[in-house]
Amino acid sequence: MSDDNMLSQSEIENLLGATGGSSDSSDKKPEPTKPATNSLPPSIGDLYDMQGYGGVAIKPLPMPEEKVTNYDFKRPERVGKEQMRALQTMHEGFGRNYGASLSALLRTIVEVKLTSVDQLTYSEFVFSLENPTCFNLISADPLEGSLILDINPSLLFPLIDRLLGGGVDSGTPGRRPLTEIELRLVTRITDLFLSELRSAWENVIPLNLEVIDVESNPQLVQIVPPNEVVVLVSFEITVGQTRGMMNLCIPFNSIERIANKLTANSWVTFSKKPSTPESIQNLSDRLSDSPLEVVVEMAESNISTDDLLSLRVGDIINTEKDIHRPLVVAVEGERKFYASPGAYKGHKAVQITKAIEETHIDTGNDSGENVA
């Protein structure tokens, strides 16, 4: 566009202030004017663009970009991120302790791994489960409502088989409800789960956990409305070549009242409590009643297999140990004391003479060799 077709500043202001003319006035060409001596300021020149002599077109201002986040009203996130992190930290420690306890119960290596901590609706949780399954309804006083512990059948039947003396690798589990005998055996697994869960939550709130009902069809149990939010804590349990899932469902209305206690900072504070004289005394009292294996090593000797097989009652085995050398007393496999043999009220006995130093252990040989 040439400079001859440009309007002056006053003409532009007149056009903007006009209320609008007729079609005849719009068809009439304005008289040519002299070139404007002063050009428009850059801020105004960016807003207006002349379209011939007919009028002025206003350029739209660029709208600022807004970041839009999708929100699903069917799955509202009511549990905060800080509470979710606290629940994850809490149940990670629970998984390690439960794995150790389950290993002692089944007498085999059991690995318990926390796979996820998610929030979803109760209906989504129920329809994601197998049918039949082991659906345990748990009361958790003083929390409101009930919790749910679901054990997948692919894991449950191998665990029951192991409790009955089977191996760690069993056949394909059946798809059927549990019998009365199997339900009694499952209580040993669930009671252990509740015991460790109670210990994991005791720094937040003391819980009184108890299984009040067991169902095989999860759709028959309605503890909260279908659209109510629940927190799903999922564990993967590995026993030999067998793997299965164990799910803990916590309704939001159960933990809503104590949400302020489920924070990462408070959980770290709870987990680092200093030892008190009462806790030390309680630990000492428990250890004082613990049974220990005590073994007295009389002597060591080497004999042939033929001589061992030909031993009879009354035979005497010669050893190289001097009768004046002290005996060694071992506690839980660790050599701790020296002792001398004797008798007490008609029974064979030993008398502790002194404790064994950690840097020196008398092996009973004549060389007096030191063993670190």
Inside any domain, residue 197: yes
Inside any domain, residue 122: yes
Cα–Cα distance for residue pair 270/236, rounded to 1 Å: 27
98 and 44 in a single domain? The answer is no
User: Among 225, 240, 273, which residue terminates a domain?
Assistant: 273
Each residue's pLDDT tens digit, 84-122: 888 888 899 899 999 999 988 888 888 999 999 988 889
232 and 99 in a single domain? The answer is yes
3-state DSSP call for residue 285? helix
Inside any domain, residue 303: yes
User: Among 273, 305, 340, which residue terminates a domain?
Assistant: 273
- pLDDT greater than 50 at residue 369: no
- Asked whether 223 and 135 are in contact (CB, 8 A), the reply is no
Inside any domain, residue 132: yes
In the DSSP assignment, the letter for residue 174 is P
- pLDDT greater than 60 at residue 24: no
* End-to-end CA separation in angstroms for the chain: 100
Considering just the CA atoms, what is the radius of gyration of the chain in Å?
41
111 and 208 in a single domain? The answer is yes
171 and 268 in a single domain? The answer is yes
- Provide the domain limits for residue 10: 3-58
Burial class (CB in 10 A: 0-12, 13-18, 19+), 149: buried
92 and 214 in a single domain? The answer is yes
168 and 234 in a single domain? The answer is yes
50 and 106 in a single domain? The answer is no
How many domains, the chain?
3
Strands, sheet with 134-141, edge to edge from the N-terminal-most edge strand: 110-121, 229-239, 242-251, 146-151, 134-141, 208-215
Over residues 40-60, mean pLDDT: 48
131 and 236 in a single domain? The answer is yes
Reading the block at residue 149, the tokens are: 């512990």
Residue 97 sits at the vertex; the CA angle it makes with 79 and 104, to the nearest 5 degrees, is 145
- The enclosing domain of 325 has a CATH number of 2.30.330.10
262 and 135 in a single domain? The answer is yes
Inside any domain, residue 243: yes
Inside any domain, residue 266: yes
The secondary element (H helix, E strand) that includes residue 248 is: strand 242-251
Each residue's pLDDT tens digit, 174-228: 678 888 888 898 999 999 999 999 988 888 888 999 999 898 888 888 888 888 8
196 and 126 in a single domain? The answer is yes
- Asked whether 354 and 337 are in contact (CB, 8 A), the reply is yes
User: Among 273, 305, 324, which residue terminates a domain?
Assistant: 273
pTM of the model: 0.52
The secondary element (H helix, E strand) that includes residue 287 is: helix 277-288
Instruction: Residue count of the chain, please give it.
Output: 372
Residue 159 C-alpha from the chain's centroid? 21
SS3 assignment for 66-99:
CCCCCCCCCCCCCCCHHHHHHHHHHHHHHHHHHH
Backbone φ and ψ of 330, nearest 5°: -110, 135
- The enclosing domain of 182 has a CATH number of 3.40.1550.10
Inside any domain, residue 289: no
- Asked whether 155 and 178 are in contact (CB, 8 A), the reply is no
Reading the block at residue 300, the tokens are: 């060591």
Inside any domain, residue 73: no
225 and 326 in a single domain? The answer is no
314 and 250 in a single domain? The answer is no
